[in-house]
Amino acid sequence: MNNGQAKRILLEKQQQLREQVARLENEARESIGAEVEDPIDMVTSTEAKAGAFEASTRERQTLKEVGDALLRLDDGTYGKCVDCGRSIEAARLEAVPWTRYCLADQEKHDREQPNPEGATF
């Protein structure tokens, strides 16, 4: 994948994420529910709201990573691991164009942070 293709893919992903974040945040706000709820409705509403905010947080993190990748494209460091400076594997960039780590360094970070949802690509 050349830089032009990467930029196009990243810009499309950025727009998609912005739309998803807006939709999720709107859903969370709307899930507050009616004034008259029984306890079961209240729990369901609270869980829906929490789920939407959690998904929004994950999408916001990915949006930040996509923005960072676009900055790396602009400064000429895209495709280089931010930890070791080696080239990121082509297949890895194809799968996750906003990744900032080569596979070895990503695995190192994943071991340091065992929460897979908190892992960055």
Range of the domain at 91: 3-118
For the beta carbon of residue 64, count every other beta carbon within 10 angstroms. 13
The count of domains in the chain is 1
Q: Which of 81, 79, 77 is nearest to 106 (CA)?
A: 81
Q: What is the pLDDT of residues 86-115, one digit of tens each?
A: 999 999 999 999 999 999 999 999 999 865
Q: What is the pLDDT of residues 25-63, one digit of tens each?
A: 887 777 655 455 666 666 666 676 677 667 778 899 999
CATH number at residue 90: 1.20.120.910
How far is Cα 73 from Cα 8, in angstroms, rounded to an integer? 11
How far is Cα 50 from Cα 102, in angstroms, rounded to an integer? 33
Does the global pTM surpass 0.75?
A: no
